[in-house]
Chain A
Amino acid sequence: MAGAEVGPPPAPARTDLRTRCAVAAGRFAGWASRVTGRGAGTQVGGRIMLALAPGALGALAAGHRVVCVSATNGKTTTTRLLVEALRAGGHDAVWNTTGANMASGLAAALARPHTARLAVLEVDERWLARVLDPLRPALVVWGNLSRDQLDRFGEVHAIARTWRALAEAHPDLRVVANASDPHVAWAAEPAEVTWVDLGAAWRDDAATCPRCGSLLRWSEAGFACPGCRFATPPAVARLRGDELVVAGTPVRVPLRMGGAWNLRNAALALTAAHLHFGVDLAAAAAAVGTVEAVAGRFTTIPVGAGRTARVVLAKNPAGWTEVLHWLTTQPGPVVLAVNAHLADGRDTSWLWDVPYELLVGRDVAASGERALDVAVRLDYAGVDPLVERDPRRAAAVLAARTADQAVVTIVASYTQFTALTRSQW
C-alpha cells in the first residue's frame, strides 16, 4: 500500500551511561579535530563513539523517526531537499549535514545537540545493510544504482542484491523508490513500496534484467523484460520535465539548482514528504525551491585575479553525463578536474563512458592529477584542451581569455571537489 503516513514519533528515549560517555568522548575528539584544523570532525568523532559503545548508533537513533536516503548519485542533495520539504510541514529534522554517510558519520550526526524527533540520514549504499537494524528506519528512499568506483566497490548488481536482501528480510519496510531504475525496482520489490517514475536517465548499467539476466527492452513507458516479464512498476508519482504529479496532484518543481538530476532528487523528496508525512505538496515544492547549494555543490569559489568559478561535483559516468548535458545550456569555459585517489576510484577508464563530445567548440581545460587522461579523452572527442594540473589556475586562464564575463564552471571528481570547496561548507 503506497503512501501510508509514517506514525507519530516515539517518546524520547534516555540513552544509557555507556553511550553518553562515548558520545562525550566522540564530541570532544570532533571538537579537537575541528579546532586543530584537521577536518570537519564528524568522522573521527563518530568513530570514537562507535569504538567505545558499539551499540551507540541504535541508542542514539532510538526516540527518532528515521528516514534513510541511499543511491549511487544524489544522496546528499535528496537528503537536504527532504529536510526542507519536511520543515515546510512543521517537521523539524536532524540530518548529516556534511555528507558523512557511513556508520561513524551517522552516529556523529545523531549525537549533535538537537531537539528534533525526526532524523533524515543519507546512507552510503554499501553501508545500508549494516545500519538498517540499529536505525530501524520508518522510511527508506532509494534513488538510483549505477557504476561507481568499480575498482573499490565491485559491480552494480552486487549492491542491488544486498538491497534486495534487506527488503526480503524486512517485508514491512516502507520504501520510496525510483521505478525507472531496473536495479532499484528489483531490489525494492519485496518491500512496501511507493514507486516514483522519474523517466529514464543513465541506463548503461541496466542492459540485462536484474531478475533473470535477459536483455531488457526500453520504451517511453520504461523497461520490460521479454524473459520473465519484470517491468517498470506502476507508479503513484511521475516526473516529466519539471512537472511532478503525485497521486493525481500536479506541482511544478521550482529548483534554483540546475540539472535534470536535481529535479529527480526533488521528486523523490517531495513524494516522500507528501505521501508519508502529509506535507502539503505545493508548500513542500516551494520549500525545496529555496535551496541554493547543498554541501558545496554549485558553490562559487575565487580563482585569483578577481575571477570566480562555480564548482560542480561529478563522481561517476552517470553523474558526468548529466552534468555535460546540463552544461550544453550553460555558456562559458569549462575546467574538468580529475583525480584518481581511492575516493575518486583509481581507475579512470570511465572517462570513455562519458560523452565529452558535447564540449566540442568550447574553451575547455583538462586538469587535476589525471589531466593527461582527460586530455587524451578530449583529443579523441574533437576538443583541444588547455592542460593545467591546478584547476584554479586553469579556471583563471580560461576566464582571462573569455571576451565576455561568462562564468567558468569547474566539474570536479570527488577529491578535487572537496579540496576546492572545503572552506565553503
Chain B
Amino acid sequence: MTGAGASAVRVGLVYPELLGTYGDRGNAVVLVERCRRRGVAAELVVVPAGEALPAGLDVYVFGGGEDDPQEAAAAGLRQGRAALEQAVAHGAVVFAVCAGFQLCGTVYSTGDGRRVEGLGLLDATTEAGAPRCIGEVVSDTTDTLGVGLLTGFENHAGRTRLGRGTTPLGRVLVGAGNGVGGVDGAVRDRVVGTYLHGPVLPRNPALADRLLEWVIGPAARHAVADRWGAALHAERLREARLRGLRAWWRDRRLARG
C-alpha cells in the first residue's frame, strides 16, 4: 500500500503490458477517479506482468490482449488463482474485458486451435470463430445489472458459450458480443465479464458506479463531477442505433431478395 490510508479503495490494473491493447487502463482510471471525486480515497495499483497477483485488492481490472500476450497472462494468472479466489470470496470485484473475460472462463481456444485453461471464475468457454467481430456494440443490462444500455466497441474472434445458469451481462441490440445466443458477457456475483471495450467504463458511467457500489456502498450513488460522460454515452448510443438501423434495413432487403 502506498500511503493512501488503510481504508483507501484499491483498484488493481492486472498485467497492463499484456492485457492493455484496447486502452483498458481507462477502466481502472475511471473507477479510481469516480471514488476520489466523491471524497473516497482510492489508489490505482498496477500489477506488472511477471509479478504475483496480490490478494488484498478491492477491484481487479483485466483488459484485452493479443494472442501471445494473452497466453503469457494466462500462465501468470493461473499461479495467482488462489489469491484471486480468496479475494473474490471476501467480496472483491473482478471486471474483465475481451481477452480478460475469456481468461476468467474455464477454457479458451487460441487462433491456432490450442486449448488454454482459464481461471474458472465464470462458467464460460470460448472458441475462436470467423468472421472477426469488429464494430460498435449496444447491449441492454436492464434485466441483469439494471444499468440500462451499454455502449462499447468490440474487436475479437471469440465465440463464448455460457454454462447453464450463468447470467449474461446484457442482451445485444447492435453488434455481436459473445457471438452466441444474442448476449454479451457474463456475471457471477461480483465477477463481471464483457466483450465491450472503448474503454467501456468511461463511456458508461452507470456501469462504473454499479461496480463501485459493491465496494463503497451507497456513496457510489452520489452525484459526481463528470462533465462530458453522459453526453458521450448518449452520442455513442445514437451512432450505434443508426448503424444498427442500416444493418437491419440491409438484412430486410436481402431477405426479400
Write the residues of chain A forming the contact surface with B, with a CB cutoff of 8 angstroms: 147, 150-151, 155-157, 204, 207-208, 213-215, 346-353, 372-373, 375-377, 379-380, 384, 387
Known contacts A150-B21, A376-B228, A379-B227, A213 near B68 by CB under 8 Å:
yes
Known contacts A372-B235, A387-B228; A380/B202 CB under 8 A: yes
Check B202–A377 contact: CB distance below 8 A.
Answer: yes
Distance in angstroms from B86 CB to nearest chain A CB is 25
Q: Is the beta-carbon distance between B20 and A353 smaller than 8 angstroms? A: yes
Q: Please name the residue on chain B nearest to A206 by beta carbon.
A: B17
CB-CB contacts of B177-220 with A at 8 A, as 1s and 0s?
A: 00000000000000000000111001100000000000000000
Distance between Cα atoms of A157 and B202 in the complex (Å): 28
User: Which chain A residues lie closer than 8 Å to B24 at the CB level?
Assistant: 349, 352
User: Are A373 and B232 interface neighbours, CB within 8 A?
Assistant: yes
Q: Which of B18, B155, B202 contacts A347 (CB 8 A)?
A: B155
Query: B49 in the interface, Cβ–Cβ < 8 Å?
Result: yes
A residues in contact with B134, CB < 8 Å = 151, 346
Q: Which 10 A-B residue pairings sit nearest by Cβ, starting from the closest?
A: A352-B23, A352-B26, A349-B23, A207-B17, A375-B228, A372-B232, A349-B22, A213-B68, A155-B66, A376-B228
- Supposing A207-B69, A208-B18, A347-B155 touch, asked if A215 and B202 sit within 8 A by C-beta, the answer is no
- Contact between chains at A157 and B227 (CB < 8 Å): no
Identify 18 residue pairs between A and B in the complex whose beta-carbon atoms are under 8 Å apart, listed by A's number.
A147-B21, A150-B155, A151-B134, A155-B21, A156-B66, A157-B67, A204-B20, A208-B69, A215-B72, A352-B24, A353-B23, A372-B231, A372-B235, A373-B232, A376-B203, A376-B228, A379-B226, A379-B229
Give the interface centre of B23, B197, B235 by most chain A CB atoms within 10 Å: B23
Question: Is B108 interfacial (CB-CB < 8 Å)?
Answer: no
By a CB distance below 8 angstroms, the chain A residues around B29 are 352, 380
What CA separation (Å) do A214 and B67 show in the bound complex? 13
- Rounded to whole angstroms, the CA-CA distance of A41 and B179 in the bound complex is 42
**CB-defined contacts of B67 to chain A, threshold 8 Å:** 155, 157
Contact A350 B23 (CB under 8 A): yes
CA–CA, A157 and B65, complex, Å: 12
- The SS class assigned to the B binding surface is mixed
**Bound Cα distance A155, B70 (Å):** 13
Complex CA gap A147/B155 in Å reads 14
Task: Quote the shortest CB–CB distance from A358 to chain B (angstroms).
Answer: 15
Smallest Cβ-Cβ distance to B228: which chain A residue: A375
Query: Chain A's nearest CB lies how many Å from the CB of B178?
Result: 19
Q: Does B161 sit within 8 A of A, measured CB to CB?
A: no
B60 interface contact, C-beta 8 A: no
CB atoms of B232 and A376 under 8 A apart:
yes
Q: In the complex, what residue of chain B is closest to A387 when comparing beta carbons?
A: B228
A353 contact set on B, CB distance < 8 A: 20, 23, 25
Residue pair B135, A346 in contact (C-beta under 8 Å): yes
B85 contacts chain A at the CB level, 8 A cutoff: no
Using CB atoms, name the residue of chain A closest to B226: A379
B33 in contact (CB, < 8 A): yes
Chain A residues, CB < 8 A from B72 = 207-208, 213-215
In the complex formed, the residue of B with least CB distance to A381 is B29
Q: A204-B20, A349-B199, A353-B20 are in contact. Are A157 and B66 (CB under 8 A)?
A: yes
Query: In the complex the two chains form, is A349's CB within 8 Å of B153's CB?
Result: yes
With A347-B155, A351-B23 given, is the CB distance from A376 to B69 under 8 Å?
no
Contact check, B33 vs A380: say whether CB atoms are below 8 A apart. Answer: yes
A387 to chain B: which residues have CB within 8 Å?
Answer: 228
Residues of chain B lying within 8 A (CB to CB) of residue A151: 134-135, 153, 155
Partner among A147, A155, A352 whose Cβ is within 8 Å of the Cβ of B202? A352
A376 touches B229 (CB 8 A): yes
Q: How far is the CA of A346 from the CA of B137 in the complex (A)?
A: 13
B66 contacts across to A, CB distance below 8 A = 155-157
* With A351-B23, A379-B228 as contacts: A208 and B68 at CB distance below 8 Å: yes
Bound together, the chains give a CA A207 to CA B228 distance in angstroms of 33
Q: Which residue of B lies closest to A373 (CB)?
A: B232
CB distance from B47 to the nearest CB of A (A): 13
CA distance A151 to B132 in the complex (A): 10
Contact (Cβ within 8 A) A349 B197: yes
Mark each residue of chain B from 225 to 257: 1 if its CB lies under 8 Å from any CB of chain A, else 0: 011110110010000000000000000000000
Docked complex Cα distance between A128 and B135 (Å): 27
